[in-house]
Structure 1
Amino acid sequence: MSHLLEPVPPSVMQPDGAGTRRRPNVWLPLLVLLVAAFLLVSLPRYLSLDPAQSLVPVNEGAPLHYPMVVAHVLFGSVALVTACLQLWPSLRRTRPAVHRWSGRVYVFGGILPSALLAVVIAPLGPLNLLGALGATTWGLVALVTTVVGLVAARRRRLAEHRRFMLYSFATAIAILTNRAMFLLLMSVPGIPHDPGLAGAVGGFWAGWLINLGVAHWWLHRHPVPRPQDAPRAGHA
């Protein structure tokens, strides 16, 4: 396991042309501010351990449902913070050890347990069918993209690792776009303001699908040539 989530060379992770001219990175500080604001507003609800404050509908008939919701939120919060660290270009270049360890925390202490819990929670909760399907699909997509990215790093397929981890980060920060889409659907005039429908479409589908689309667009604008991939290490 010595090569698991090793730091990816800057030449692989940076967009084409980044080595010759760096442009100001304005989107990452904005993401950090959004994540910080979201956690400051939402996390205390779950740290209180009061089911009445949960933004996720709680099934009172399933005793383990609320504790799993709290665990899902806590692991998801870790994923949000460490995703910001993973997306920080200068940290990756100048502090590869921090990048490597934050990546391990992101995978094993953040997105994987959060996504696994989402898959379990969705059928137990009182969500409508559309919302439950959206939450379950999100969890499965997060699991698949993260595991594929993890395996690619282990095999030193660095371009594939970059691609699938960016998809994984897109699912991790979907909670931000999920909330935005929910509020947007509830405020657009001329359409029925049904919280159940808006929550299902905006809160459990649209957000992470939009994020994946943006990540896919970004990767196609900044492709990484496969010859940069390192050969697979001969020892574990």
Structure 2
Amino acid sequence: MKKKFFQLLFAVFAVLIGLYPLKYLLNHGKTGILSGKPDWLLHSEVWQFSFYSHIVFGGVALLIGWIQFNAKLRHNKPRIHQFIGKIYVVSALMSSFSGFYIALFADQGLWASLGFCCLAIIWFCVTLIAYLTIRKKQILKHQHMMIYSYAACFAAVTLRIWLPVLSVIIGHYGTAYLMVAWLSWIPNLLVAHFIIIKGEALHEGEASRCR
């Protein structure tokens, strides 16, 4: 029961934040994080293209990525799983690539930019490896890389959880934002690693009982 509750909560957060880009697509002018950006940056066509590419493709990846962890879908409808997977991979690669560029202009300077740049690089690399491994029929490694990939993708959710909490606790938005540039994804990857290790232990236990 507890597991199903957390799965539902996980899906709800993914869908809600996955739809968050609509806020920027339906509203014109300085809204959300754009309100703190200088005019010279907002008028840059390269930055604008990168920003909207990042949030749209990232939103798609977040919206559909959680579906891929449904075992019944993978086993009973592999073609749907593969189709969704292709959309996710393209979306994740595009969002992470453009995300690296806009991270260079992140608020709060160098250390915040470095945090988000690291996230973009990791997300891009693990997603690409996930794609390459499934092409080689390395299913287990593919699954592990996809867990890491979606953990990085889910930083969009954890960022929006950490930021208001830390802002209240610390009392300074800038400091909170600087911390979130790292906290939004490092714990996610650690949780992903724990899930992978736990899964391998269960698999080895089942294999030993079958011998």
Please tell me the TM-score bracket, short chain as reference: 0.7 to 0.9
Q: Provide the rounded CA distance (Å) in 2 between the counterparts of 1:91 and 1:59.
A: 46
Q: 1:195 aligned to 140, 158, 173, which one?
A: 173
Q: 2:26 aligned to 48, 58, 65, which one?
A: 48
1:145 to 2:136 alignment: no
> Which structure carries more helix by proportion?
2
Confirm or deny: 8 A CA contact 1:128 1:196 kept in the other structure: no
Moved over 4 A (4+): none
The answer for unaligned runs of 5 or more in structure 1 is 1-22, 229-236
1:21-60 → structure 2 map (5 Å cutoff): 25-40=4-19, 42-48=20-26, 50-55=28-33, 57-60=36-39
- SS of 2:120's partner is helix
Larger RCO: 1 or 2 (CA < 8 Å, sep 6+): 1
Matched length: 198
- Tell me what 2:198 maps to: 221
Deviations 1:145-182 (A, max 9, x none): 11111111111111111111110010011111111111
- Tell me what 2:81 maps to: 99
The answer for unaligned runs of 5 or more in structure 2 is none
State the one-letter code of the partner of 1:102: I
State the one-letter code of the partner of 1:157: Q
- Tell me what 2:67 maps to: 85
Q: Provide the rounded CA distance (Å) in 2 between the counterparts of 1:133 and 1:185.
A: 20
- Tell me what 1:6 maps to: none
1:54-133 → structure 2 map (5 Å cutoff): 54-55=32-33, 57-62=36-41, 63-64=44-45, 65-108=47-90, 110-133=91-114
Structure 1 length-normalised TM:
0.77
Tell me the CA shift for residue 100 of structure 1. Answer: 0.4
Which stretch shows the higher mean deviation, 132-141 or 86-95?
86-95
